[in-house]
Amino acid sequence: CPSSPKHPSTPSEKCGVLNVTKITENGKKVRKNWTSSWTVLQGSSLLFAKGQSGSTSWKFGSNQSKPEFTVDLRGASADWASKDKSSKKHVIELKTRQGTELLIQSEIDSVISDWYRALTETINVHAWE
Ligand code: I3S
């Protein structure tokens, strides 16, 4: 996962630790379950692996760990979540074309701002696929 991509205007790869919960799955409301996930933006996919950052995160992407779940960003939308969606700060609401809604969050302002930028740019690039 490159820290300084060659083409920052079209981020194709980004990774880091985010807090994430699903709120809707296939159009049905599900119970919130915030977990800290190793998150990878790869092309038009967003992948989440369970567990904290640190020593195990390097395994992600190898055959030793499978992503917990994957989100297709083609036709998705991302926006800052309204206050009624969560009491947490810096929350992004991500809605997929498949009817899954996620909240993703970081306590760190700059971290979530970078993700917001990367996600919205990725969604724009793949909007018509
Ligand atoms: O939107 P909610 O229902 O207030 O979300 C909170 C709950 O999911 C809560 O767990 P319980 O299912 O045990 O009530 C979580 O611990 C909270 O983090 C959720 O709210 P925030 O505002 O943190 O997204």
**Can you give the pLDDT at residue 64?**
45
**ipTM reported for the complex, 2 dp:** 0.88
Whether 124 shows a pLDDT value over 70: the answer reads yes
pLDDT in tens, 46-104: 999 975 544 454 555 444 456 788 999 999 999 999 999 999 999 999 999 999 999 99
pTM of the model: 0.83
Distance in Å, CA 29 to ligand 1 centroid = 13
Could you write out the DSSP letters of every residue in 64-110?
Answer: TB--SEEEE-TT-EEEEPPGGG-SSSSEEEEE-TTS-EEEEE-S-HH
| Mean pLDDT of the residues in the chain | 86
At 13, the pLDDT band (50, 70, 90 cuts) reads confident
Distance in Å, CA 21 to ligand 1 centroid = 10
The verdict on the CB of residue 57 being under 6 Å from ligand 1 is no
Distance in Å, CA 19 to ligand 1 centroid = 13
